Chain A
Amino acid sequence: MASQTEAAVRPTTNKEKSTTNPLKSNVVVGSLLPVTLIIIWELASRGGFVEPHLLPAPTTVVEEVITMAQEGELWGHIWITLYRVFTGFLLGTGAAILLGAATGYIKIVERILDPMLQALRAIPSLAWVPLFILWLGIGETSKITLVAVGVFFPVYLNLTSGIQGVDRKLIEVGRMYHFTALQQIKRIILPASLPSFLVGLRSGLSLGWMFVVAAELLGASEGLGYLMVFGQNTSAPELVIASILLFAIFGKITDEILKRIQTRTLKWQDNMENAS
């Protein structure tokens, strides 16, 4: 029965694309500016145009990283920071899923819970720090809690709005099949709110990185944030820049992981990115 005209809309495969390899050329084009800037920076430092005790040359920064890595002290700092981000991320996401799902799905919970959470959201993140330190001490707990608070809100907000934004027309399809509430959630509401949830996860993660810096700047004895404070106190700008560099690298890697997950699970979405 399929007519010729309809069969003609069969989409072309993506294989044709890879011959031109847009990724490769994108990488080249995208690196042009930063590479040029780094070269200028290096030349300026070597030529003595900038004070090395304020802005050390890129090679000095890289050397610093390599030395610390070889001496082994760097790994401890990286590990503890990653541990704080991930534990906080997991806790914040877990709490956001529980509360966000309840708020999105059950009207009465929304009316009770949402106004309070929205009010708490208005508190600037750093305002929590003294309280958390007072309550939870200067150990890991207060830092992880701070990260979790940062992660919580974007995930919560996106999940709630994702659930509430599920197309009524799709829900009606489920009702035609007499789905139970649980089946509705599992088979329609969850997959339909997934895009919004993943957006929440990504902004949650980036806030998590921001909050871990805050936590480590304000009272830590190890971690990448602590290295920055240490570099500041010992007038070692290469240490500060190295820490910034490492934050950037790890932030980018973790975001890239989430982005890959997002692209893979949402390949059904009809949007610009998936246009063939």
Chain B
Amino acid sequence: MSERMPMIEMRNVSKHFGSVIALSDISMEVYSGEVMCLLGDNGAGKSTLIKTLSGVHQPTHGELLLGGEATRFKSPAYALDAGIATVFQDLAMIPLMSITRNFFMGREPTVGWGPMKRIDWKYADRIAKQEMAKIGIDVRDPSQPVGTLSGGERQCVAIARAVYFGAKVLILDEPTSALGVKQASVVLRYIAKARADGLAVIFITHNVHHAFPVADAFTLLARGGSLGTFRKEETTREEVLNMMAGGAELESLDAELAEFQRSDSERKADADGSEASGTRLAAGQ
């Protein structure tokens, strides 16, 4: 009951696929009303981690605690029931289906009984429209295909759906990576709102400029292991960026770029100086 009881916690979680160790000994705590940013390069284990959290994979070792109780999810459906909603990168949206059909996919509201049991379309349309309006997207017609929405709007439908169905933990897999600046800000604003509503949010991203404004803490993954969790107060944007990309690599990249620039300008100067670049090339051969 204490304030500091994590909403969801991973204790020494490992995941092996045959001989491949995808995750090793990860511990992480996420509190309600907080955004935990999961950072890491490609292949760091971010996807495996969220799939373990959302019930797609079961951990090989270690345990998951939801609200302080150890749990095990046999499938994504169990995790959903427990209040862990994942918005996957591919959105779990079907472009040719209507907004309402997508919104209620798998959890359709019904009226009637027995063989007359049917979807309550009126109610479903109203809720879909209303939930979208809450996040500032004014849907003209909830029966229009999701494919007609922009990327940011689709992402918001996916998040709105998760929130509407009572998610306590919201896992977002790179929700802003494919979006333009304006659309990304719509999504980020919505993440901030979800946090204010008391959800525990796990936000996976590559983009530190997206991560920094909304995150309360950062967990860094590298090669299947955790490099640690940092509170936002304890760190700066540059530090996070450095940790994310491996600071040394970025520095060497800087050096390399500077080298390119130097040799470029040298060549230019050369070309200007020589009579014809063609003769120089021929001579070189």
Say whether A and B bind each other.
no
Interface residues, chain B, CB within 8 Å of chain A? none
